[in-house]
Amino acid sequence: MNYKIALLPGDGIGPEIVAQAVKVLHAAGKKFGHRFEFTEGLVGAAAIDAVGDPFPDETLRLCMDSDAVLFGAIGDPRFDNDPKAKVRPEQGLLAMRKKLGLYANIRPVSTFQSLIHKSPLRPDLVEGADFVVVRELTGGIYFGEPSGRSEDGEKAYDTSIYTREEIRRIARLGFEYAARRDKRLTLVDKANVLATSRLWRETVQAMEAEYPGIAVDYMFVDNAAMQIIQWPKKFDVMVTENMFGDILSDEASVITGSLGLLPSASVGIHTSVFEPIHGSYPQAAGKDIANPLATVLSAAMLLDIALKLTEEARAVRDVVNRSMEAGIVTEDITEGKAYRTSEVGEWLAANI
């Protein structure tokens, strides 16, 4: 089979880590008899520098015409340190989510036996932890209108808006994931304070009858943030709104011991996007030291979710596990010999 994959390397370490995932996908294609056609597009600061737009129309067309999108990272200190910048790399990410209809971000969090000692949490707490954060991606405070600043610059405001149908579609996805897993779903909200959270809780409570085999519990976000650290094995599928999901899934990275190990999928109405959850790590850009495993695992999710190539996805996950067991890893997750980003990618491709 032939598949068209859009590559959006983006900024910082994005081009380096995406290049390793491409090596692995080529190797998987050779092994299983598939051909992947890769076409690069501009996004983020790289796109601002080239055409003045962090998500140009040409990139949107490329994504819409592809079977899946493999995305690296966006972000640049030039913009981070300039709060008055009119155009920002992150606007490209938000535009991509909106224009592709990417309403759900799926972030699996699981431990690797060979790296449990790298987690700052006790081994008995993290060993066997395995849950999924299903984050709503196109609503809430990141997209709410109105938002802005007063003319004198002394006041700023953002609004959080959700509709019942937006909540139903993300909750439905969460229930479906729970049905395939351990049949437990946790809704994370702030219903004791926020009107939008009360609508979330009310909507999910009404849906419980549609999924009688799923055990549902409800948790305030501050309590969830604590319990992820105290009892990570308590969770199976966690469903939450945009900002809470952003924060909680990043917090959950400590369970694995490294942000460089967590992949994600953003799915919705049009082409799905697959990306590591870490940022652009500009300090490491061009040094060939960044951990590519989250991007490679994102490519495995691409094979599994977008292309329905389950066996191929399993082979990619298996070779990632073997690379960690063999110590073929980058400096962030080893106390011994550290391999270069490119060396890890080459080993994975050669051993799939």
189 within 8 A of 241, measured Cβ to Cβ: yes
Residue 13, pLDDT score = 97
Say whether both 77 and 191 belong to one domain: no
113 domain residue, yes or no: no
Between 277 and 217, the more confident residue is 217
Please choose, from the candidates 301, 326, 325, the residue with its C-alpha nearest in 3D space to the C-alpha of residue 313: 301
Q: How confident is the model at residue 34 (pLDDT cuts 50, 70, 90)?
A: very high
139 domain residue, yes or no: yes
Structure tokens at 228: 């992820």
Q: How confident is the model at residue 152 (pLDDT cuts 50, 70, 90)?
A: confident
264 domain residue, yes or no: no
Say whether both 280 and 231 belong to one domain: no
96 domain residue, yes or no: yes
Residues above pLDDT 90, as percent of the chain = 82
For 50-93, how does the pLDDT look when each residue is reduced to its tens digit (9 = 90+)? 999 999 999 999 999 999 999 999 999 988 777 777 889 999 99
Say whether both 218 and 134 belong to one domain: yes
Q: How far apart are alpha carbons 5 and 273 in whole angstroms?
A: 10
Please compute the mean of the pLDDT values over residues 311-339 and round it to a whole number: 93
How many domains does the chain fold into? 2
Say whether both 252 and 279 belong to one domain: no
Say whether both 229 and 140 belong to one domain: yes
Global pTM?
A: 0.88
Structure tokens at 220: 């305030």
Question: Domain range holding 13?
Answer: 1-102+270-352
The CATH code of the domain that includes 55 is 3.40.718.10
Q: How far apart are alpha carbons 137 and 148 in whole angstroms?
A: 20
Say whether both 336 and 225 belong to one domain: no
Say whether both 227 and 201 belong to one domain: yes
Mean pLDDT of the chain: 94
The residues annotated with a catalytic role in the active site are 142, 190, 222, 246, 250
